[in-house]
Each structure stands twice: as structure tokens, then as C-alpha cells.
Amino acid sequence: MSLTTNSTMRADLRNVAIIAHVDHGKTTLVDAMLWQSGAFRENESVAERVMDSMDLEREKGITILAKNTAIRWTSPGNPEIKINIVDTPGHADFGGEVERALTMVDGVVLLVDSSEGPLPQTRFVLRKALELNLPVVLVINKIDRPDGRIKEVIDETYELFLDLDATDQQIEFPIVYTDARAGTATLDLEIPGENLGPLFETLSQTIPAPVHELGHPLQAWVTNLDSNPYVGRLAVCRIRHGEIKKGQTVAWCRSDGSIESVRINDLFVTEGLQRVEANIAGPGEIIAISGIEEITIGETLGDINDPRPLPVISVDEPSLSMTIGINTSPVAGTDGKKLTARQIKSRLDAELIGNVAIRVLDTERPDAWEVQGRGELQLAVLVEIMRREGFELTVGKPEVVTKTIEGVLHEPTERATIDIPEEHVGAVSQLLGERRGQLELMGNHGTGWVRLEYVIPARGLIGFRTKFLTETRGTGLINHVFEGYTPWVGELRTRHSGSIVADRKGKVTGFAVAAIQERSSLFVGPGELVYEGMVIGENPRSDDMDVNICREKQQTNVRAAASDDTIRLTPPRILTLEQALEFIGDDECVEVTPNFLRLRKVTFDAGLRARSKKRMQRDRSA
């Protein structure tokens, strides 16, 4: 916000978001900032990556939810400054969190790895920040890496700013070099850093203080939701103008245009990692309030006598969808506790309240819903969270969300950045060519690694990661971000293998596995329960194969020399949820329960499946 004759600044406050690609050290840097600002006692036991609060965040090593913390910093000869830091997700699938976080801050820290440089997710979040005209502080992290190429990374960052049409003022950003694990920062690579003082100093000088108008009525924008077991739903707000007090009656400007009078029961501000109660909060502060159970993201709290609603937060359109419904398998109800359509619909509605980036649509069936989101990872994380809460679900194959533009069907495309050893360039190019990928850029840094940039239909990336890792022997890195829409490119054949399908219910036997494992890759081992229509393995050929995986060895009284040889069984392939969603075909789905992941056909009966396949082939030939 620019200064006017009636506006003033809060010099004691800064609001800043940290944006970075996955695994560039963002959460580790916040840890070091908290320690050096005195947020923890010297003898306090604190977990690593303390900002990763969810189990899934710790397991996957990524940030999923935008969270804020606050530190206090005093530079020599200057008054104390409070810095509110918002930790944003580095993955574009959680872009809804990013867009909300950027509405709370007045500037951003762009964190870039000294070796990998700016990657697609960096591009995605930076584009959002530049659109909001937020000033940027560039932080080159991991300067201790032996394969660091700091000068080239800075040049790549300048190129990225130019690509994103940054203004001259935005390109003139300060650069800080850090080693987050060691907790050091420096403005000159020739002078080793001793602490993060140079970073704090740069933030206080570069990030503008919040601007507000004197005498302006209260305006607080709801940017996030949280909950507390004692006070219920919490609305996280950024105060634009005015002050808010505990117990105050304010105007609640709802998203439907109506205005209600409500009372603020509790008022919290952030200190370190804790929310502490406060009696009053001023302009520019990030607060949490309780007392309004139905409040949602994007709504405004205003002055009871002069309410002035702010615009509702908008996010990018979803590009991927999948169907989520009740578990309809023969073993439904044996593992989870939440089984009914009512419970699943209630949980999806609850997710809509706090997650503005997803949509839930009705389908032809009353017990299944189409959930639309930004990408496979976002939808898989939602299913994984529901699974851990005790739900049993049937999840369909991910599909792209198409749109019609000027009467022509369009589909979403992704910009994929791929880092691979030189010897795998041919195999990966062939894989992407089959999926209608277009090569935009190819660079060789002279280290034996090649960087490829492709624009590819989003459909082509469904199920791509597993094959990509196989072709590159696990060494390849791929990152992708939404690019735009392109006319429908036609049919893509992304899976060349078929499925091994169980033809009856029972328990898997070692005798049957030994006979099948030579010609297929199995997902189940001896003793596991299977049922008719369950996908139990991958067939190298393109056709499905129905097998009796429960067949037992016939016992006779006749002994033979070789009859009791030891059977050597290959361990089954255990699929994660993301791998299962990548693997399934159009006529398959995933059964998700708290303790099991099973792949199965949508139609259990083999005869019905065969007739349906013949009908589809006949329709295509016609």
C-alpha cells in the first residue's frame, strides 16, 4: 500500500513470507531464525524442522500448510522489531495455501539452493508475489555445497525475474548468502558469516513496514482457519486498518454479501511458535480470533458502525480431479471405523472450509463425489489424511479438468523441469515424446547432468514418475508446475502393461505365487486376503490376465524326489498411495482403508468386464 497524506507506517513490525522450492532449506532456515532470536530457551528440547507440524509433513519432508511464527530482533542502536514469518508450501499443488499467505505479508524472502537454482515451484510462487508487487530479498542457501554454482544461480534468478516481466524496481533486490544448517549469513562470500544478523538486518531495511490510514475504521481480512480444542474455530486475520479488542463487537462481512454483528471471544497474537492471548491488536498485525463458528476464508471483520468488506480471495482453477466414494469392495467394513456416505460427505465439506484450492462436485451416484484440486500430490495428501482418520474409501483414477474455450475443448498443460545424467537423455526424451511433450529448453552445465524443460499435457504426467525413475535408475529429478491450457491433443497411451486380476476370494498361497511370479510383478504375498476383481500384479503384456492366486498344491500319497524342493518367492511390490493412483487404468480404482491399500477393477465379475471391453472395441471400430 502506498503512503497517502492520511496514512502512516508501523515501524516496529514486518510481515514476510518465505518462498522456495521443495527441499531448498526453507523450514531449516526458519528453525535457525527462531533459535537466534531467542524464541527457545537454551536447554529447551525442540524437534528438527519445528515448523513441519503435521505427521505427513515430517514424513514427506515438505510443507503442506501455510503457518506463521514471530521473532523479535534488535539491531544495534535501533528499537526492537517484531518480524511475522509465514512459511509457505514449496509445491504448486498447495498453491491455494501460497495465495492466501501472500495476502498477509508486505514482502517475501526468495530462497534458492546454491546448486539447483530456481525450479518450477519457485517460478510459480514468485509469479504470485510479483503480481502483488511485493519486494523480494534473494537468499542463496546451502552455500557450503561442494557442487554449488552460486554465480550461475544468481544469473538464472535474474533471468527468471525478466521472464516474469518484473519491473526495474523489483529486479533490484538485495542478495544474502546463508548456510541454514550452520545458522550463518553473509552479504559477501569472501567474508564468512557468524550468525543470521545480516539476514535480519536486510529484512528490516528491505521489507516495508505495514501502512495504514489514521482514523480508518477496522478492516481485518480472514486469510486462514485453524482450530483449538478449548475455544473452537480460529480465524487467522491480517489487520489492514484500525484496532481490534478482546470482547469487542464487530461487523462480520460474509462472502454472500450479508453483514452480521458478532463478538470477539478471544484474541491471540503470535510470539515464537506460540499463540498468546492479547487484549488489543493494531494495524498490520497477524492475529487469530475465536467466537465465530461459521466464518470462512476471504471474509472481512469490520467496524460495527462503518463496515467496509474487502474482496474475497481468489485462487487458480483446479486442473486435476478424482472420484472419492464409499468402499464397495467385498471386504468393506473390516478395517476402518468411518464407512458411510454421510460421514465422507461431511469430511469433504469440512475440507472445503479450510482449503480454498479444492472443489467437491456431485456425481451420478449418491455415494461418490468428484474432488478437484491442483495436482496428484494435493489429492493424494487429502486421501492419506482421511485414511489416517479411520475412513474406508474407493478412489478413482485421476483425470484432468478440461474446459471449452471459444467452442474448442482445451486441457491443462504443465511445465516440467527435468535433471538427469547425460546417458539417460535418449530414454527420457522418448518417454516424453510418447506423451506429446514439447522440448522448450536443453542445458548442459558440464557436470555430467543435463537439464530439460518440457511443456506437456497434464494427462501425460499421470503415471509418469514411476517409469521416469525406472529409466533413470532412480537418479532423475522432475518438477512441474501448471503452465496453461492447450487444445486437446488426442488420445495418449500412458500405460503399456496390463493387470493380473484375482478370479476368486481367498488367501494367497505360496504354491500359486511361485507359478505366476516368473511372468509378472506381484503386489501381494502369501497369506494375504484377495477377492474376485482385485488387481494383484502387473502383467508385462497389455492385456489383463485373470488367475487363481489361491490355488493350493494337491496332496497325494505318492512321493517324488523333486516334489518337496524349497520354493523361492520374490517379495511383493508394496505400492504407496501415490504409486497406486499412478498405476491404475481407466477401469480400475484404489480401495483405501486405514491399514490396507488394494487395487481393484471397477467391475468385479470377469465375464461382465470381457463383455464391456468387446462393446467398447466395437464402438471404436464403428
Written in H, E and C, the secondary structure of 255-321 is CCCCEEEEECCEEEEEEECEEEECCEECCCCEEEEECCCCCCCCCEEECCCCCCCCCCCCCCCCCEE
Which stretches in the chain have pLDDT values below 50?
Answer: 1-2, 40-41, 43-54, 56-58, 60-61, 63-66
* Same fold: 7-211 with 320-402: no
In whole angstroms, what is the distance from residue 63 CA to residue 57 CA? Answer: 6
| Residue 97 neighbours by CB under 8 Å, 6+ apart | 64, 65, 66, 88, 89, 357
What would the grid cell of residue 222 be? 480472514
Stretch (H or E) spanning 197: helix 197-206
Q: CA separation (Å) from 177 to 310, 355, 583?
A: 38, 34, 42
Q: CA separation (Å) from 436 to 40, 57, 432, 454?
A: 52, 33, 6, 10
pTM to 2 decimal places: 0.70
What pLDDT is recorded for position 581?
Answer: 87
Q: Which residue's C-alpha cell is 524342493? A: 565
Q: Which residue's C-alpha cell is 479450510? A: 354
| DSSP H helices in 389-509 | 425-434, 458-461, 464-471
CATH 3.30.70.240 given to domain 404-487: yes
Question: Given CA atoms 430, 434, 437, 438 in this order, what sign does their dihedral have?
Answer: positive
What would the grid cell of residue 341 be? 456416505
The CA-based angle 23-420-424, given to 5 degrees, is 155
pLDDT (tens digit, 9 = 90+) per residue, 435-463? 888 888 888 766 778 888 899 998 888 87
What pLDDT is recorded for position 622?
Answer: 63
CATH 3.40.50.10480 given to domain 498-621: no
The amino acid that residue 454 corresponds to is Y
Residues in a beta bridge with 481: 415
In whole angstroms, what is the distance from residue 319 CA to residue 403 CA? Answer: 10
In whole angstroms, what is the distance from residue 369 CA to residue 395 CA? Answer: 10
Domain formed by 215-302, architecture: Beta Barrel (2.40)
312 within 8 A of 297, measured Cβ to Cβ: no
CATH tag, 7-211? 3.40.50.300
CATH tag, 320-402? 3.30.70.870
What would the grid cell of residue 518 be? 516368473
Residues in a beta bridge with 393: 326, 592
362 within 8 A of 375, measured Cβ to Cβ: no
The amino acid that residue 419 corresponds to is D
Q: What are phi and psi of 489, to 5 degrees?
A: -90, 0
What would the grid cell of residue 565 be? 524342493
Query: Whose CA is closest to 439, among 418, 465, 460, 409?
Result: 418
Give the start-to-end residue ranges of the domains of the chain: 7-211, 215-302, 320-402, 404-487, 498-621
What pLDDT is recorded for position 120?
Answer: 65
Angle between helices 120-131 and 95-102 (to 10 degrees): 30
